[in-house]
Amino acid sequence: LGSALVSTSANVSGRPPVRSAWRARALFGDGIDCVAGGVCDRPGVPSTIRHALDDTTIRG
């Protein structure tokens, strides 16, 4: 891609959501540089992605 890819999820299209940092590492292996672990505070509810400058919702 030539640049950083940052997202709140590590979901593969058509597959169940990845819900832990451990599972993301197991699934993607050396294909990723960093996983920021956290807790799924709303299981079953997709995360919201907001624009950093104006707080508009991009996805969610």
If you write DSSP's letter for every residue of the chain in order, what string do you get?
--S----S--PPTTSPPP-SHHHHHHHHGGG-S-------SSTTS---EE-TTT--EEE-
- Enter the pTM of the model: 0.51
Beta bridge partners of 49: 59
Tens of pLDDT along the chain (60 residues)? 566 666 666 777 788 877 778 888 898 888 888 777 666 666 677 677 778 789 888 776
pLDDT, tens digit (0-9, with 9 covering 90-100), for 34-49: 777 666 666 677 677 7
Q: CA 38, 9, 16 angle in degrees (round to 5)?
A: 105
